[in-house]
């Protein structure tokens, strides 16, 4: 393990020196390590071009759902909901096939698919940023939605730490464990990292809830998840 100063927020954290990217425990920024850090500096595209790709994706991500007010909705939140939906409902050979097909189809939609092809080596960086930001928005929605944060037909309101436990259980079992069971979907590793690192930034009252739930997964799943995320589990 080595100590790294995050290029995003400036805080120090521990990371495995064998990985190429170390994701900050505090803000989720992808920090390059060793030789990868040098290579990453040389292959970065022109900043203006990168921002054009980012804007193109965000134009698709944020769509106007109320024409009268101009209020926009976040389609990436729907992506997270879709992952959990399949984790809960899609079982068996045909269910897994359908789940994988729908998850991959999301990245092939008009504009996003074209941008990712054009971005080449920078595609994963673009997606990682959007996934982390949308994961935070998804968790925040869980915190604020009165139906999600209650039980017994909305008669009993859950405490903030109980909502954190509920979200952690869903992510651990319906995203991590479920989507580890078959051939990796597009950007699976980036999805897992975003889900992991965004959690503590939203559920500050119980930031260790996700790690606690993951500790209950089978050893082989924890080992693979640890390799993907880049933290010991």
DSSP string, 28-57: --EEE-THHHHHHHHHPPPHHHHHHHHHHH
177 secondary structure, DSSP code: I
Pairing label, strands 21-23, 30-32? antiparallel
Q: Which residues of the chain have pLDDT under 50?
A: 38, 41-45
How far apart (Å, rounded) are the C-alpha atoms in residues 40 and 200?
Answer: 27
Nearest 5°: the CA angle 111, 190, 223 is 155
Model pLDDT, residue 228: 95
Q: Are 134 and 74 in contact (CB under 8 A)?
A: yes
pLDDT in tens, 159-187: 999 999 999 999 999 999 999 988 899 99
How many helices (DSSP H) and strands (DSSP E) are in the chain?
11, 8
Q: Are 106 and 99 in contact (CB under 8 A)?
A: no
Model pLDDT, residue 35: 54
DSSP string, 93-143: HHHHHHHHHHHHHHTTSTTHHHHHHHHGGGHHHHHHHHHHHHHHHHHHHHH
Encoded tokens for 54: 């980012």
Among 79, 70, 42, 36, CA closest to 187: 79
How far apart (Å, rounded) are the C-alpha atoms in residues 207 and 198?
Answer: 10
How far apart (Å, rounded) are the C-alpha atoms in residues 209 and 172?
Answer: 10
How far apart (Å, rounded) are the C-alpha atoms in residues 136 and 195?
Answer: 8
Model pLDDT, residue 70: 73
167 secondary structure, DSSP code: H
Encoded tokens for 85: 């939906």
Model pLDDT, residue 45: 46
Residue 116: count other Cβ atoms within 10 Å of its Cβ. 20
């Amino acid at each position: 393990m080595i100590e790294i100063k995050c290029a995003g927020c400036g805080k120090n954290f521990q990371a495995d020196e064998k990985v190429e990217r170390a994701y900050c425990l505090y803000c989720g920024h992808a920090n390059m390590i060793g030789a990868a850090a040098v290579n990453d500096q040389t292959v970065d595209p022109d900043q203006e071009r990168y921002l054009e790709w980012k804007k193109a994706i965000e134009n698709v991500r944020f769509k106007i759902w109320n024409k009268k007010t101009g209020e926009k909705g976040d389609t990436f939140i729907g992506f997270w909901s879709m992952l959990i939906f399949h984790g809960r409902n899609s079982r068996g050979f045909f269910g897994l096939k359908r789940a994988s097909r729908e998850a991959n189809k999301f990245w092939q939609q008009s504009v996003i698919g074209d941008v990712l092809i054009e971005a080449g080596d920078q595609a994963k960086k673009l997606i990682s940023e959007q996934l982390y930001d949308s994961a935070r928005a998804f968790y925040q929605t869980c915190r604020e939605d009165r139906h999600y944060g209650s039980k017994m037909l909305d008669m009993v309101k859950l405490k903030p730490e109980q909502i954190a436990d509920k979200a952690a259980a869903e992510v651990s079992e319906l995203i991590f464990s479920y989507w580890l069971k078959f051939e990796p979907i597009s950007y699976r590793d980036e999805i897992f990292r975003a889900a992991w690192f965004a959690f503590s930034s939203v559920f500050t009252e119980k930031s260790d809830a996700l790690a606690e739930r993951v500790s209950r997964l089978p050893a082989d799943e924890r080992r693979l998840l640890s390799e993907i995320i880049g933290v010991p589990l």
